[in-house]
Amino acid sequence: MAPEKQPFSLYIHIPYCVSKCPYCDFNVHVVSKIPEREYGAALLRELEVYARSDHWRGRGLKSVFFGGGTPSTFSPQSIGRILEQARSLFPFTEDVEVTLEANPEKEDQKHFSAYRSCGVNRLSLGVQSFQPRLLKFLGRLHSADESREALRVIRQVGFRNFSLDLIYGSPGQSLADLQADLAEALSFQPPHLSAYNLTIEEGTPFHHQLNAGRIRPLPEDEEIAMAELIEETLSRSGLERYEISNYARPGWQSRHNSNYWQGGDYLGIGAGAHSYVSCEGNSVFGLRWHDERNPARYMEMVKREGTAVAESESVGLAKAAAEFMFVGLRMMNGVSTDDFSGRFGKRPEEFYPQIGAWVEEGLMEARGGAVRLTRRGVLVSNSIFVNFV
């Protein structure tokens, strides 16, 4: 099937949070009153306009992801309206995955059942840690007990598919802390678990504290020991690592995120959301754009113009190939040689001769119809990825 006919993924950005965590560098806004109705109306309008455009008209939808921010700040009625609109404009595939990111707070838990009734079939729960002192350090508003309760409610209301998110590598975290987090997470038998290494991004409060010497990152060897502990513990429990930070029981991988990592098309709506559509038949391999980041300006633009594109670019051969490698290498299966040469006319090793050197160093392997990182390569993946940026 030509790429422009294949089912795509839809990302919906809800940019509001009750407070901002000190490590967060997402497009997040803390406001005294969340303009749920106006923002929801802008999302509906944007969807309607894109459904008429050449890139998206008539295409099937294979996944919908409400991300943020905190999408669970929006009521099930608003989420339901957006899903209804999406379903009326694009045929949903039979196995469509509809994910909503939720925080474990009591207020959010109250809505879990209604989210399920309105069509959400997967929750991604930001637990981060079960250790009260680490939750406090991360600036999270929920308690470990709220996470435990939220995980029970998720099951109780009938979500078979959910993801539990943890953060590791916080200053002051020990291997024993991490072990306790993993054991407790596993006791809830999640079909999917994400374990993110805490990164301190420029411009965040943590970055200022780091510069002022008030926090000290963990030594690299401790972070590596943590990454190894995570992989060993989770794989022993049947959660297979399928992406650098993501683990799942067979068949429960995130379809939405896998679409990004496999270079599929996605439409992003909402403040700051990114979109990518591949093109065939000329020197332009893809188009990418992102929406205005500021929610108030985003809503104004949608009211005026129907969409809110802040910046767009055509992606040429070199960039499209590099991005395909960059995201594909995040997956443990790696980049399929056939997929790569089908899109770009050459095998990955021909396009990037340095792959040979990485294979010799034991950081990559090129066999079985794919190029992938080895276990050692995963540990130094950032130093490989910079070559594709």
Which residues of the shown chain bind ligand SF4 in the complex (CB under 6 A)? 17, 20-21, 24, 26, 28, 68-70
Distance of CA 111 to CAs 67, 79, 150, 331, Å?
16, 11, 11, 33
Nearest distance in Å: CB 67, ligand SF4 = 9
- C-beta of 28 vs 370, nearer to ligand SF4: 28
- Of 101 and 292, the one with the shorter C-beta distance to ligand SF4 is 101
| Helices and strands (H and E) in the chain: how many | 17, 15
Of the two residues 21 and 82, which places its CB atom closer to ligand SF4 in the complex? 21
- Residue 273 or residue 384: which is nearer to ligand SF4 going by CB? 273
The label of the residue with tokens 């790429």 reads 3
Smallest gap, in angstroms, from Cβ of residue 40 to ligand SF4?
A: 19
Give me the least distance between CB of 70 and ligand SF4, in Å please. 5
What stretch of H or E contains 87? helix 76-89
Number of other residues whose CB lies within 10 A of the CB of residue 362: 11
Task: Name the residue nearer to ligand SF4 (CB basis): 206 or 344.
Answer: 206
Buried b (16+ CB within 10 A) or exposed e, 92-116: beeebbbbbbbbbbeebbebbeebb
DSSP secondary structure letters along 139-156: T-SS-HHHHHHHHHHHHH
Given the complex with ligand SF4, which of 265 and 291 has the nearer CB atom? 291
User: Closest approach of Cβ 69 to ligand SF4, in Å?
Assistant: 5
- Cβ nearer to ligand SF4, comparing 16 with 358: 16
41 Cα distance to chain centroid: 24
Residue 26 or 388: which CB sits closer to ligand SF4? Answer: 26
Q: What is the chain's Cα-based Rg? A: 21
Joined together, the tokens standing for residue 35 give 């303009």
Q: Which is nearer to ligand SF4, 144 or 378 (CB)?
A: 144
Chain position whose Cβ is nearest to ligand SF4: 24
User: Is the bond preceding 377 in cis, omega lying within 30 degrees of 0?
Assistant: no
The whole-angstrom separation of Cα 86 and Cα 45 is 11
* Minimal distance, residue 377 CB to ligand SF4, in Å: 28
The minimum distance between CB 386 and ligand SF4, in angstroms, equals: 25
Query: Least separation, in Å, of the C-beta of 247 and ligand SF4?
Result: 20
Exposed (0-12), middle (13-18) or buried (19+): which is 205, by Cβ within 10 Å?
Answer: middle
Distance CA 227, CA 221 (A): 10
Residues 6 or more apart whose CB falls under 8 angstroms from that of 129 comprise 135, 138, 144, 166, 167, 170, 173, 177, 181
Q: How far is the CB of 21 from ligand SF4 (least distance, A)?
A: 3
- Find the shortest distance in angstroms from Cβ 212 to ligand SF4: 21
Measured CA to CA, the distance from residue 336 to residue 86 in angstroms comes to 31
165 vs 265, which CB is nearer to ligand SF4?
A: 165
Residue 28 beta carbon to ligand SF4: minimum distance, rounded to whole angstroms: 5
User: Among candidates 183, 177, 204, which has minimal Cα distance to 28?
Assistant: 204
Residue type, 148: R
